[in-house]
C-alpha cells in the first residue's frame, strides 16, 4: 500500500520519491517468464500535505438527575498530534467528569501540534430530584381494620411503597384490608419523575390486638372488720398509659384518682370496688369494674364435739368429731384429754389410749380471715367409760395322735357373756369354753371371749396331730430299684424320733434319727438276710 510508505505527519509539506518498474507480463515459449524489468530514467516524486485538524466525535447531549455526574469525551482526528484540550469549565483532558446543578452547555477547543484548532460542544440537561411533600396513614388502628396510606399526587410520577410482610404497591394511596398486628411497622415511599427518584420517606404504623382492660384490688389487712383502718391497692393490665381510677364504697364515689384507697370508717357489710377508665385505642371495653371486697360481719364462734359412744373397750380406738360454727374456712383444732393436748389439728380425733373416767374436749381458734367476738372457743366435755377386756386364762398348744379325742379347755376371767372357737372343724360345739376335739390333721383355732360390756379378747391355739406309723416288716435291699429301703410312713411327723435295729444276737446294726430310710447296710456293707428287731422312740410322752 502506498500510504504505508508515507512518513509521519508533519507541519510542513514533504516530497516522497518512488521508483517505477515495469515487467513483461507475456511469458510464452519454453523459457517461461523472466525477472527482467525496465524503469523510468527519473524517480517519481509525490508531494504530501496533511489533512486539516477535525473532530471524530463528542459525547452526545445527555440528561441526568440532580446530584448525579456525567462523563464527556471529545475524539479529534487528522492534524498533527499530540492534541491539547481546553473545556469551558477549565478542564484540559479529552474525557471529563461533570456534575452540573442545572442544564449546562459544555464546549471544548482542540489544538494540534501545528496550532490548528477546532471547536465542539455538547449539552448536559439536569432534571430535578422529585420531593415527597408528605405521607400519612390512619394509624393507630385495631386488627381487622382498613389501613390507608396517603401522599399528595405528583404529576408524572411513579410510586413505590414498601412495608412489613413484603408489602409493595405502585399506587399513590394504597389501601390494606383486614390488617393484623404482624403488619405493624415502618412503611416507606419513593417516587420517580423523568427517571429521577426521590429520597425515601417513611412512617410508622401501629396495629393493635383488641384488648380487655383488667383491674383487680386487694386489701391490707386481708380480712377487714368494722372500724378497722384498711388500705386497698389496685393491679391493672392492658390499660394503656395514665388510666383513671374511681374508688367506690357501696357504689358511691370516694377517694381520689389514684391506684390506692385508704379508709378507717368502714362498717359491716360495706362493699369496696374501683372503676377503671382507659385510653387504649384498641380496647373493647374502655370502662371496667374491679372485683368486690366486703367488710366482714362480726361472728359469734362456737364448737361442739360428739362420739359414736361414750363407753369403750380398753385399748380399742375411740373417734370424736368436732363441729365448728362461725369459725371460718380453716379454723385450728386443739384436742385435749384431761386438759392436756392429745390430738392433731383436725376436726376428727381418734385415740386408743383412753382410760376409764377420762374427759375429752376441743378448743378451736377461728380462721384468722374473719371477724369474731372471741379468739378461741371451747367445746362441751365428754367423759368416757373404758371397760376392761376379758382375760383369757389357759390355753396351751397341744399335740395328739391321729384319731384320738380330748377336751380343749378355754377360760377367761370377768363376766363372760359368750365364747367362740374358729373354725368349728373337729369340734363338738364351737360356742362353749371346753368342746371335745377329734382332729384328723394339724389345725389352729382362734379362741374368743366376750364379756357383758361387749369387749373381746382372743388367743390362738395350735393343735398338732401326729399321724399313725406304718412300719413294713420286710424289705429287699438288692439293688433292683424295688423296695430297696425300709420306709416308715408317718415318721416324718415325729421330729426328733430315733430308730434302733438289732440282729437276733442283740447286736445293733442301725441306729438313726431317721434323716433317711435304712438301706440294709451296716458299716457300709450289706447285712445278711434274716430276722431283725427294731425299736422306735417317737420322743412324745403320749399314750400310743
Cα 208 to its chain centre, rounded Å, is 28
State the fold for domain 469-544: Immunoglobulin-like (2.60.40)
CATH 2.30.30.90 fits 214-294, yes or no: no
Which residue shows C-alpha cell 393436748? 341
Write the Ramachandran bin of 144: left for phi over 0, alpha for psi from -120 to 50, otherwise beta.
left
State the fold for domain 136-208: Immunoglobulin-like (2.60.40)
Among 12-26, 309-323, 392-406, which range has the highest average pLDDT? 309-323
What percentage of the chain has pLDDT greater than the value 70? Answer: 90
Give tens-digit pLDDT for 533-543: 999 888 876 65
Given the candidates 3.30.70.141, 2.60.40.1080, 3.40.50.300, 3.40.630.10, the CATH classification of the domain at 54-127 is 2.60.40.1080
Rg (CA), the chain: 66
What percentage of the chain has pLDDT greater than the value 90? Answer: 63
Residue 487 to residue 229: CA distance in whole angstroms: 100
Report whether 318 contacts 384 (CB < 8 A).
yes
By the 10 Å C-beta count (0-12 exposed, 13-18 middle, 19+ buried), 151 is classed as buried
Give tens-digit pLDDT for 475-522: 888 888 888 888 888 888 888 888 999 999 889 999 988 778 888 898
Q: How confident is the model at residue 19 (pLDDT cuts 50, 70, 90)?
A: low
Residue 282 pLDDT? 86
Residue 20 pLDDT? 64
Q: What value, to the nearest 5°, has the Cα angle with vertex 180 and ends 178 and 184?
A: 120
For the domain 391-466, what is the CATH code?
2.60.40.10
Residue 362 pLDDT? 96
Residue 234 pLDDT? 97
Q: Which CATH class is domain 298-387?
A: mainly beta
Domain ranges of the chain: 3-48, 54-127, 136-208, 214-294, 298-387, 391-466, 469-544
Give tens-digit pLDDT for 199-258: 999 999 999 888 899 999 999 998 899 988 999 999 999 998 899 999 999 999 999 999
Q: How confident is the model at residue 119 (pLDDT cuts 50, 70, 90)?
A: very high
Give tens-digit pLDDT for 55-96: 789 999 999 999 999 999 999 988 888 999 999 999 999 999
Residue 414 pLDDT? 85
Tell me what the pLDDT averaged over the chain comes to: 89
Asked whether the domain spanning 298-387 has the same topology as the one spanning 214-294, the reply is yes
Amino acid at each position: 500500500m502506498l500510504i504505508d510508505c508515507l512518513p509521519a505527519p508533519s507541519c510542513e509539506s514533504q516530497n516522497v520519491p518512488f521508483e517505477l518498474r515495469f515487467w513483461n507480463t507475456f511469458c510464452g515459449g519454453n523459457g517461461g517468464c523472466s525477472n527482467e524489468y525496465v524503469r523510468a530514467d527519473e524517480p517519481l516524486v509525490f508531494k504530501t500535505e496533511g489533512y486539516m485538524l477535525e473532530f471524530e466525535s463528542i459525547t452526545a447531549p445527555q440528561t441526568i438527575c440532580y446530584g448525579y455526574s456525567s462523563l464527556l469525551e471529545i475524539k479529534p482526528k487528522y492534524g498533527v498530534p499530540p492534541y491539547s484540550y481546553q473545556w469551558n469549565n477549565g478542564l484540559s483532558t479529552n474525557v471529563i467528569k461533570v456534575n452540573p446543578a442545572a442544564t449546562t452547555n459544555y464546549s471544548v477547543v482542540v489544538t494540534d501540534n501545528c496550532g490548528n484548532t477546532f471547536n465542539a460542544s455538547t449539552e448536559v440537561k439536569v432534571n430535578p430530584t422529585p420531593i415527597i411533600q408528605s405521607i400519612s396513614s390512619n394509624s393507630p388502628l385495631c386488627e381487622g381494620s382498613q389501613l390507608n396510606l396517603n401522599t399528595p399526587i405528583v404529576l408524572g410520577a411513579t410510586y413505590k411503597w414498601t412495608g412489613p410482610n413484603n408489602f409493595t404497591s405502585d399506587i399513590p394511596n394504597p389501601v390494606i384490608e383486614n390488617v393484623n398486628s404482624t403488619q405493624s411497622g415502618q412503611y416507606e415511599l419513593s417516587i420517580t419523575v423523568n427517571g429521577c427518584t426521590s429520597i425515601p420517606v417513611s412512617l410508622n404504623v401501629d396495629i393493635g390486638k383488641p384488648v380487655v382492660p383488667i383491674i383487680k384490688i386487694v386489701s391490707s389487712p386481708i380480712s377487714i372488720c368494722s372500724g378497722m383502718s384498711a388500705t386497698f391497692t389496685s393491679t391493672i393490665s392492658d390499660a394503656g398509659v395514665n388510666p383513671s381510677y374511681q374508688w367506690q364504697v357501696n357504689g358511691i364515689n370516694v377517694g381520689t384518682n389514684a391506684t390506692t384507697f385508704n379508709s378507717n370508717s368502714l362498717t359491716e357489710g360495706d362493699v369496696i370496688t374501683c372503676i377503671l377508665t382507659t385510653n387504649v385505642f384498641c380496647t373493647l371495653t374502655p370502662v371496667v369494674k374491679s372485683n368486690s371486697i366486703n367488710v366482714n360481719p362480726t361472728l359469734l364462734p362456737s364448737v361442739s364435739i360428739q362420739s359414736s359412744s361414750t363407753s369403750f373397750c380398753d385399748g380399742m380406738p375411740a373417734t370424736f368429731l368436732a363441729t365448728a360454727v362461725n369459725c371460718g374456712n380453716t379454723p385450728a383444732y386443739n384436742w385435749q384429754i384431761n386438759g392436756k393436748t392429745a390430738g392433731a389439728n383436725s376436726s376428727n380425733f381418734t385415740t386408743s389410749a383412753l382410760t376409764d373416767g377420762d374427759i375429752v374436749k376441743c378448743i378451736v381458734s377461728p380462721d384468722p380471715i374473719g371477724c369474731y367476738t372471741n379468739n378461741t372457743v371451747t367445746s362441751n366435755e365428754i367423759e368416757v367409760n373404758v371397760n376392761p377386756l376379758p382375760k383369757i386364762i389357759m390355753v396351751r398348744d397341744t399335740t395328739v395322735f391321729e384319731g384320738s379325742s380330748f377336751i380343749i379347755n378355754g377360760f377367761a376371767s370377768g363376766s363372760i357373756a359368750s365364747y367362740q372357737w374358729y373354725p368349728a372343724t373337729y369340734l363338738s360345739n364351737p360356742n362353749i369354753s371346753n368342746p371335745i376335739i377329734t382332729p384328723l390333721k394339724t389345725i389352729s383355732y382362734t379362741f374368743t371371749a366376750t364379756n357383758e360390756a361387749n369387749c373381746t379378747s382372743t388367743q390362738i391355739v395350735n393343735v398338732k396331730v401326729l399321724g399313725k406309723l406304718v412300719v413294713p416288716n420286710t424289705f429287699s435291699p438288692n439293688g433292683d430299684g424295688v423296695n430297696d429301703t425300709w420306709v416308715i410312713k408317718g415318721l416324718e411327723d415325729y421330729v426328733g424320733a430315733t430308730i434302733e435295729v438289732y440282729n437276733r444276737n442283740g447286736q445293733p446294726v442301725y441306729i438313726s434319727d431317721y434323716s433317711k430310710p435304712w438301706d440294709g447296710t451296716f458299716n457300709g456293707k450289706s447285712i445278711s438276710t434274716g430276722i431283725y428287731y427294731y425299736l422306735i422312740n417317737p420322743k412324745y410322752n403320749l399314750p400310743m
